[in-house]
């Protein structure tokens, strides 16, 4: 145990000596999540810029305009009085949706003829498009119901009779787990986990390559210290910091960004514990076999975007090509992000996460095995290529 603590103490000293690494390990995760939290702070998309072209300009058409003005979901932009202005506003982005009331609206309404109101919305941004369509349905359904009730009242029907007619067929719609359609609840925790994934790998991924570049890794290889103690000593500081970051970022997400986080605290911590074991083991393995620190950063930068998208967190894996879905199932991020969603958003327990825990346990066992039993055979130092954390030497003129 003393040998492990000595190696861990040395690693802590190296972290604090390297200002960039210190920032990466301690500051960057919170900085990234704070930035993402400010981006998604509104949670629900409201006040969609709306242009209304009232070609009828009657009492009846102004009632339609009032229906859109009296909701927080839309913000009516003045000055959109022609179809050409509507098109221009949609092109330059000043408005995201439009309503066109035909010039014969009141006339057809008085004659009890089918009257159509044109609604358009910008589908180039799916977040705007999906929410705008839903808001249109809410406003127009309410307006149509009120108009029908007023018409039936004009025919002499009592309020009770109108109620019977209007409610002759009804339906109940419930939205489970995310009733407010909060985009933050949908996306934010996935971004938090990818930040922890990449920063965690980055921190420990530089631990061995730094020693290689300083030619001090041979001290570990030649010392009478078993491989598992070297791994434990090197990984311990990063394991503690990563788990602290995991807990801190969950707290920030729940308290500051208002992300829905429910479910068993024990299960949330268990997922974080297994995920942390995977990250520290995998990062150590990468650092063992990467030729230098620059290669580690390159690999991790290239992996971050594919990992996020093939995980199925934003787009269902069942609707991906089979080989991509299968590849995603081999990645720890896939299981961690989905498992955390099942717990925090759906409030599910151990029974529903058995496959997730088993798969993460298998990945943790495999990565830990290779990290604990690495070969102490020394590989030659890679002389080619740019290196970082390599000391105080600078390239000479002959290097260029």
Q: What is the pLDDT of residue 172?
A: 54
State whether residue 377 is helix, strand or coil.
Answer: coil
On average, the pLDDT of the chain sits at 81
- Total count of domains within the chain: 2
User: Tell me, what's the pLDDT at 269?
Assistant: 94
Residue 123 pLDDT:
75
Quote the CA–CA distance of 282 and 242 in Å, as a whole number.
13
In this structure, are 36 and 53 located in the same domain? no
The pLDDT-based confidence of 335 (bands split at 50, 70, 90) is very high
Indicate whether 344 and 198 sit together in one domain.
Answer: yes
The pLDDT tens digits for 117-146 are 888 888 766 677 777 888 888 887 777 776
pLDDT band at 279 (very low <50, low <70, confident <90, very high): very high
Answer whether 145's CB lies under 8 Å from 152's CB. Answer: no
Residue 383 has pLDDT above 70, yes or no: no
N residues, the chain: 400
For residues 352-374, average pLDDT: 93
Note the Cα 61 to chain centre separation in Å.
42
- Confidence at residue 271, expressed as pLDDT on a 0 to 100 scale: 95
For range 359-369, the mean pLDDT: 95
Helix (DSSP H) and strand (DSSP E) numbers for the chain: 17, 4
Q: Please, what is the Cα angle at 274 between 371 and 176, to 5 degrees?
A: 150
The pLDDT tens digits for 286-334 are 888 888 888 888 778 777 778 888 888 877 777 788 888 888 899 999 9
Q: Indicate whether 389 belongs to any domain.
A: no
Is residue 311 a contact partner of residue 331, using CB atoms and an 8 Å limit? yes
pLDDT score of 17? 77
Per-residue pLDDT tens over the stretch 173-220: 557 788 777 778 888 888 889 889 988 888 888 888 888 888 888 888
Same domain, 196 and 306: yes
Same domain, 100 and 188: no
Q: By residue range, what is the domain housing residue 140?
A: 48-167
Could you tell me if 54 and 32 lie in one domain? no
Shared-domain flag, residues 213 and 353: yes
pLDDT in tens, 151-178: 666 666 766 665 655 554 545 555 778 8
């Amino acid at each position: 145990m003393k040998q492990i603590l000595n190696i861990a103490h040395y690693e802590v000293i190296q972290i604090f000596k390297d200002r960039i690494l210190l920032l990466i390990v301690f500051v960057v995760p919170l900085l990234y999540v704070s930035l993402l939290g400010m981006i998604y702070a509104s949670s629900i998309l409201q006040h969609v810029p709306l242009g209304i072209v009232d070609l009828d300009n009657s009492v009846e058409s102004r009632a339609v305009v009032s229906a859109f003005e009296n909701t927080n979901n839309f913000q009516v932009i003045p000055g959109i009085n022609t179809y050409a202005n509507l098109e221009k506003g949609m092109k330059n982005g000043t408005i995201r949706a439009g309503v066109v009331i035909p010039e014969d609206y009141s006339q057809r309404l008085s004659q009890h003829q089918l009257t159509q109101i044109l609604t358009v919305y910008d589908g180039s941004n799916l977040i705007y498009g999906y929410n705008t369509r839903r808001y249109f349905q809410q406003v127009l359904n309410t307006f149509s119901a009120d108009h029908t009730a007023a018409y039936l009242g004009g025919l002499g029907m009592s309020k009770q009779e109108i109620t019977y007619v209007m409610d002759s067929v009804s339906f109940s719609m419930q939205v489970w787990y995310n009733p407010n359609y909060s985009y933050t609840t949908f996306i934010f925790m996935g971004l938090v986990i990818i930040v922890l994934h990449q920063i965690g790998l980055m921190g420990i991924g530089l631990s061995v390559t730094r020693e290689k570049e300083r030619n001090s890794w041979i001290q570990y290889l030649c010392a009478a210290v078993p491989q598992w103690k070297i791994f434990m000593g090197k990984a311990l500081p990063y394991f503690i910091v990563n788990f602290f970051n995991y807990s801190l970022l969950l707290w920030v997400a729940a308290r500051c960004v208002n992300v829905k986080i429910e479910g068993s605290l024990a299960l949330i911590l268990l997922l974080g514990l297994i995920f942390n074991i995977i990250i520290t083991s995998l990062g150590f393995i990468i650092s063992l076999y990467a030729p230098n620190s620059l290669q580690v950063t390159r690999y991790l930068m290239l992996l971050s975007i594919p990992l996020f998208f093939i995980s199925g967190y934003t787009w269902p894996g069942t609707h991906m090509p089979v080989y991509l879905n299968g590849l995603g199932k081999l990645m720890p991020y896939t299981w961690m992000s989905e498992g955390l969603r099942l717990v925090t958003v759906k409030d599910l327990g151990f029974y529903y996460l058995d496959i997730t825990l088993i798969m993460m346990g298998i990945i943790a066992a495999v990565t830990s095995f290779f990290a604990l039993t690495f070969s102490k055979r020394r590989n030659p130092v890679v002389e080619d290529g740019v290196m970082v954390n390599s000391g105080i030497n600078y390239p000479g003129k002959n290097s260029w």
